């Protein structure tokens, strides 16, 4: 992932997520897949409903955390129940900041409470997460295998 790709992806995610609230979850095909929904309640646009499809390990950290894992191998295993309980604890919290790691496309979503939803972004063979606008395939950001990141946005006319 080069710095330009990271910055474009980060700018896109900032546009889509900052100001939205954690609004729901969808159970995936396996316990390893979870879709988290976010809603902008204070604006009226085509990007009001966004999602984050997580196919990697993730965790919630306090804002005082000094360092984060470099890969899934460094992360604790949670049961499916623990994962859903953790998501329930952050329901309705607004996203205040979002950023992508500099080397791997780890995703850091800071919430109004100061908690950070961290999603691992590194895997050699598989995508770790994807995000976009619900009911719209024009917006998409994907953490690609091997530290890659890809972004699709609507073309300006």
Q: Which two tokens stand for residue 116?
A: 């950070």
Relative to beta strand 21-27, strand 34-39 is antiparallel
Whole-angstrom distance, CA of residue 104 vs CA of residue 149: 9
Residues in the chain: 157
- Order of strands across the sheet with 129-133? 21-27, 34-39, 49-54, 129-133, 136-144, 148-152
pLDDT 10s digit of each residue in the chain, 157 long? 899 999 999 999 999 999 999 999 998 777 778 999 999 998 877 778 999 999 999 999 998 888 899 989 999 999 889 999 999 999 999 999 999 999 999 999 999 999 999 999 999 999 999 999 998 889 999 999 999 999 999 975 4
Nearest-angstrom CA–CA distance, 12 and 14: 5
CA dist 115 → 44, 73, 101 (Å): 27, 22, 17
The neighbour count for residue 116, using CB atoms within 10 Å, is 20
- pTM of the predicted model, to two decimals? 0.93
Comparing CA positions, the residue from 135, 125, 87 lying closest to residue 109 is 87
CATH class of 3-152: mainly beta
CA angle, residues 22, 148, 73, in degrees to nearest 5? 70
């Amino acid at each position: 992932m080069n710095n330009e790709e990271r910055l474009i992806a980060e700018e896109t995610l900032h546009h889509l997520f900052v100001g939205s609230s954690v609004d729901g979850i969808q159970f995936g095909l396996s316990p390893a897949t979870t879709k988290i929904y976010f809603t902008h309640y204070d604006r009226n646009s085509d990007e009001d409903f966004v999602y984050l499809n997580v196919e990697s390990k993730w965790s919630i950290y306090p804002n005082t955390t000094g360092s984060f894992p470099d890969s899934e191998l460094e992360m604790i295993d949670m049961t499916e129940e623990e994962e859903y309980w953790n998501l329930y604890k952050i329901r309705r919290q607004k996203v205040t900041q979002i950023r992508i790691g500099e080397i791997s496309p780890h995703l850091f979503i800071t919430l109004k409470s100061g908690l950070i939803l961290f999603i691992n972004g590194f895997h050699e063979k598989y995508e770790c997460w994807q995000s976009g606008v619900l009911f719209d395939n024009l917006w998409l950001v994907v953490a690609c295998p091997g530290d890659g990141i890809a972004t699709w946005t609507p073309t300006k006319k």
